[in-house]
Structures are given as C-alpha cells and as structure tokens.
C-alpha cells in the first residue's frame, strides 16, 4: 500500500499525495473524487 499524506489547503480543498503506484492513486480518486 502507498503512504498517504493529506493536507488541508485554503478554501477547504484537501490535497492528497500518494507515494506508490497508479493503482493506489486510482483508489484515492474513487474514495475522494478530488484527486488531480
């Protein structure tokens, strides 16, 4: 699994960084719906 780092940015936008592979990034995209 990836190591995830979430930071709350101004405006209430949560920026999430995934340190691993595209599979985990896809899971984040489904879970949060706001992954770049």
Which residues of the chain fall below pLDDT 70?
1-25, 28, 32-36
The whole-number pLDDT of residue 26 equals 74
Show the domain range for 18: 3-32
Residue 28 pairs in a beta bridge with none
Instruction: Specify the number of domains making up the chain.
Output: 1
Dihedrals phi, psi of 16, to nearest 5 degrees: -120, 130
How many other CB atoms sit within 10 Å of the CB of residue 20? 11
pTM confidence score: 0.29
Average pLDDT, the chain: 62
User: What pLDDT shows up at residue 4?
Assistant: 58
Separation between Cα atoms, residue 29 and residue 34, nearest integer Å: 6
């Amino acid at each position: 699994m990836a190591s995830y780092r979430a930071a709350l940015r101004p405006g209430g936008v949560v920026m999430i960084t995934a340190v691993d592979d595209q599979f985990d990034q896809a899971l984040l995209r489904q879970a949060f719906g706001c992954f770049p």
